[in-house]
Amino acid sequence: MDKVIDNKMDPLISIVVPVYQTESYLRKCINSILRQTYPNFEMILVDDGSPDRCGEICDEYARKDGRIRALHKENGGLADARNTGTAVAKGEYITYIDSDDWVAPDMLERLLRQAQQSVADVVVCDSVKTGMEDVRFPSGPTAAPMQFSGPGAMERMLYQTLFDTSAWGKLFSVKLAKAFPFPKGRLYEDLFTVYKMLFAAQRVAYLPQVLYAYRNNPDSIMNRRFDRRNLDELDAADEITAFVRANCPEYLPAANARKFSSYSQVLRWMRGADAADETLREKREVAWNFLKCYRWKMMLDEKARKKNRIAAVCTIFGSKFYVLL
């Protein structure tokens, strides 16, 4: 290896990889980045105080390739690790890759090409969720690329059509990313943040091609039993509706559709929570009351995804039946 960035003509892309307890998967992630057909990147590996050998692996790769930097810090969570990497990023563009995931060999090249052709601040690609080690990435787009205004892309994301709320699988202008740090210490850091990035963008491009493989890791926080940190999703949904009401009320139906999804999901997770916990009882009541009050608008919203509209119908049968679905 021992490669050094020497191409001054092509934009530098910063790749931030937060690393924590993914020793079994980290090499696959890093190797998928090193195989990129677009070579002008810097890889910022942020060891978030990982107790396993992840820090050693980061240092090993940094010694072999001049494009790689290994940063070591005390554990502060995914949001803090991303912020640490973003703060030192030198690229014109930035992308985030979770350390248990991997990417197609031409992901950077295709995202950058689309950003340049569309003059876009953000480019979004498709992803595949998998528990398999090997994924066949399609060789080309399944449809023509699409372009949106920033607020229009935010509306799509809130309706959960085309775009999801993840920070990964997206190429951002680094100026845009640095303007909106992730909330330290919170779960659902993407839900708290990415909609603001899209809203602030002049143009967002969507490339309908699977370029990112998201590992369905059974040990991840999202796959564990309910704990109180899952309530952060309610706060994120509330912040979204407050932001939209204040800045672009014409998109309030989209914000409420996303709130409907978040409240439904947390209610489902709370099914196994402590029934005697007064705070959780209050949260259940607030969430259920919103679902009941908004269900008719949800049913009639033609832009809402079918899953939400069916869920709204199911609320008619009561909360006990609803959370069992």
Least confident range of 160-169, 210-219, 255-264 = 210-219
Q: Give whole-number Cα distances, 255 to 64, 237, 271, 297, 301, in Å.
A: 46, 8, 25, 13, 12
Averaged pLDDT for residues 93-100: 98
CB of 54 closer than 8 Å to CB of 23: yes
Q: Which residues of 24-51 are buried (b: 16+ CB within 10 A; e: fewer)?
A: ebbebbbebbbebebebbbbbbbbbbbe
Rounded percentage of the chain residues whose pLDDT exceeds 90 = 79
The residue among 39, 86, 92 whose CA lies nearest residue 66 is 39
Last-in-domain residue among 175, 202, 221: 221
H-helix segments, 149-302? 150-158, 174-179, 189-200, 232-247, 252-269, 278-300
CB of 190 closer than 8 Å to CB of 166: yes
309: number of Cβ within 10 Å? 17
pLDDT of residue 240: 98
Q: Decide if pLDDT at 2 tops 70.
A: no
Whole-prediction pTM value? 0.92
In this structure, the answer to whether residues 203 and 250 fall within a common structural domain is no
- pLDDT tens string 289-298: 999 999 999 9
Question: Domain total for the chain?
Answer: 2
Between 227 and 14, the more confident residue is: 14
Alpha-carbon Rg for the chain, nearest whole angstrom, is 20
pLDDT of residue 1: 36
In this structure, the answer to whether residues 108 and 28 fall within a common structural domain is yes
pLDDT of residue 117: 96
Q: Decide if pLDDT at 325 tops 80.
A: no
Name the pLDDT band for 217 (thresholds 50, 70, 90): low
Secondary structure (3-state) at 70: strand
Rounded percentage of the chain residues whose pLDDT exceeds 70 = 93
Kindly tell me the sign of the dihedral angle through the C-alpha atoms of 156, 77, 247, 171: negative
pLDDT of residue 270: 82
Q: Six-digit token pair at 260?
A: 């409907």
Last-in-domain residue among 190, 221, 252: 221
In this structure, the answer to whether residues 192 and 288 fall within a common structural domain is no
Residue 2 covered by a domain: no
Q: Six-digit token pair at 32?
A: 């998928």
Q: Which domain range does residue 302 map to?
A: 225-324
In this structure, the answer to whether residues 266 and 159 fall within a common structural domain is no
Residue 4 covered by a domain: no
Between 136 and 182, the more confident residue is: 182
The 3 state secondary structure assigned to 29-49 is: HHHHHHCCCCCCEEEEEEECC
Last-in-domain residue among 221, 250, 284: 221
Q: Decide if pLDDT at 55 tops 80.
A: yes
CB of 186 closer than 8 Å to CB of 192: yes
Between 228 and 176, the more confident residue is: 176
In this structure, the answer to whether residues 80 and 205 fall within a common structural domain is yes
Between 190 and 228, the more confident residue is: 190
pLDDT of residue 7: 45
Residue 1 covered by a domain: no
CB of 22 closer than 8 Å to CB of 47: no
pLDDT of residue 261: 96
In this structure, the answer to whether residues 30 and 148 fall within a common structural domain is yes
pLDDT of residue 133: 75
Q: Decide if pLDDT at 251 tops 50.
A: yes
- pLDDT tens string 145-171: 999 999 999 999 999 998 899 999 999
Residue 64: CATH number of its domain = 3.90.550.10
Name the pLDDT band for 6 (thresholds 50, 70, 90): very low
Q: Decide if pLDDT at 218 tops 80.
A: no
Residue 6 covered by a domain: no
- pLDDT tens string 267-288: 888 876 666 678 888 998 999 9
What is the Cα–Cα distance from 191 to 212, expressed in whole angstroms?
Answer: 19
